[in-house]
Amino acid sequence: MGYLIKILLFFFLFLKLLCNSFELNAQNYSCDLYGSITTVDSVVYTGAIRWNNEEVFQTDFFNSRKESNAYLKYLDPLEHQKTRVKSRKNYWAGFKFVRESNDNDWQTKYSRKFQCRFGDIKSITVTGRESVDLELKTGKFIQLKGGSNDLGTQIWILDKELGLLKIDWERINVINFFTCSDNNCQYFGNPIYGKLISTKGEFVGFIQWDHDERLQTDFLDGRSVDGEVSIAFSNILSIQKLKEGCRVMLKSGRELDLIGKNDVNNNNRGVIVDIPGVGRVDFSWEHFLSLKLMPLPEKIAGCMDQFPNSQRLYGTVYSNAGRIYKGIIVYDLDEAMDSEILNGYNDKIEFFLPFRNIKIIEPKAFNYCMVELKTGQKLYLGDQADVSEQNAGILVFTGINEYSFLQWNEIKRIDFE
């Protein structure tokens, strides 16, 4: 495991250099969610959009679950039957018992969460209390249901004329995303940007504190010796973790030690760093050491450059038996578009990588694999279905009505184009 940590440390140090090499002026960087909300009464509101005081940028994630898996029909009937028999055998307290299995069990077994970034979404049509039809920019529709608090929640919009509205989910018909057509658009605020120092190295990018605060106008809550305080991130220079709480340095030079709130103690859900062109990394509190807030650099990647039209996954799969399969890929019997996300852990640090940023996936053992990004970095990730023996397998469509299915333990390497 020490070898893996060294690889991860190299990855962080490489990213530190990478983040200083982007090529677009910061003042042109705009990644805010913008669009229109049409209600069930056909009333249209237009402006900046925020997902109930949470997601506000195109790089933020929309989370749900797919209602069904359309790729199960391509499995060999014998493979289907073998899996059904295997799923019926369960053990409890040393005794084996058998339960009946049906196609609903089959769908449940291969049920997968759905994740993509808002920048890849064209529209979201509400179809129920916790269900939507999500349309990608290419026009492809995906039916989703439940899976997160992104469904059934209030949606905020800064309407051009009316200001802030908080619209209840059941009042919404469709949400359309597009860019603002003029230079006078109002937004919810500027992103938090900075350098996170962790037990594994330094990481520079856009910050999401406690899985929540991501705007400079958001507040860090805590209790000082004199009482409770809420400090806007725009006033903060740095945050340093202490044994019990945090030391907060303000831009004015004032310093406060804060305790007592989940923002500043071990109840913090984690600090996320989003790296343009790479993905996002979620640091658990135990790995966090400090954060230095920084202004956006003079040069930084353009937001829209990260969101070309979604494409089908395409590449070459090499099997351990020496066979080669080239064509359209369905990964984990689920992910089929390059806008979808690969998840994996390394030492309680979670990575979220858009498939369009991935060059190679190479299984190394039953519980982890090597992931090489198109930027050249290599990661060793495990403990999730995408990157371990829990993977449901790979479908490769090599021609019209021609396809092959490979189990995780049959795969040597996958090269994406």
Tens digits of residue pLDDT in 313-352: 999 999 999 999 999 999 999 899 999 999 999 988 999 9
pLDDT for 304 beyond 60: yes
In-domain check, residue 21: yes
One domain, residues 156 and 102: no
In-domain check, residue 341: yes
Which range among 40-44, 149-153, 265-269, 400-404 shows the weakest confidence by mean pLDDT? 400-404
One domain, residues 334 and 388: yes
One domain, residues 54 and 169: yes
One domain, residues 44 and 59: yes
pLDDT band at 65 (very low <50, low <70, confident <90, very high): very high
pLDDT band at 100 (very low <50, low <70, confident <90, very high): very low
One domain, residues 300 and 198: yes
One domain, residues 158 and 82: no
In-domain check, residue 185: no
Q: What is the mean pLDDT of residues 43-70?
A: 93
Structure confidence by residue, pLDDT tens digits, 166-218: 999 999 999 999 999 888 889 999 999 999 999 988 999 999 999 999 999 99
Q: What is the mean pLDDT of residues 49-69?
A: 93
One domain, residues 9 and 22: yes
Q: What is the mean pLDDT of residues 293-306?
A: 77
In-domain check, residue 186: no
Given 304, 329, 354, the domain boundary residue is 304
Across the chain, mean pLDDT equals 86
One domain, residues 228 and 256: yes
**What is the amino acid identity at position 12?**
F
One domain, residues 124 and 102: no
Q: What is the mean pLDDT of residues 65-90?
A: 62
In-domain check, residue 349: yes
Give the residue with greater pLDDT, 16 vs 103.
Answer: 103
One domain, residues 100 and 119: no
Predicted pLDDT at 5: 46
pLDDT for 82 beyond 80: no
Given 155, 177, 199, the domain boundary residue is 177
Predicted pLDDT at 28: 45
Predicted pLDDT at 108: 57
Q: What is the mean pLDDT of residues 358-384?
A: 92
Predicted pLDDT at 301: 57
One domain, residues 298 and 337: no
Domain residues for the domain of 101 are 72-109
Predicted pLDDT at 29: 59
pLDDT for 109 beyond 90: no
Structure confidence by residue, pLDDT tens digits, 5-33: 444 444 444 444 344 333 334 444 578 99
In-domain check, residue 41: yes
Domains contained in the chain, number: 4
pLDDT band at 102 (very low <50, low <70, confident <90, very high): low
One domain, residues 172 and 38: yes
Given 242, 275, 304, the domain boundary residue is 304
In-domain check, residue 90: yes
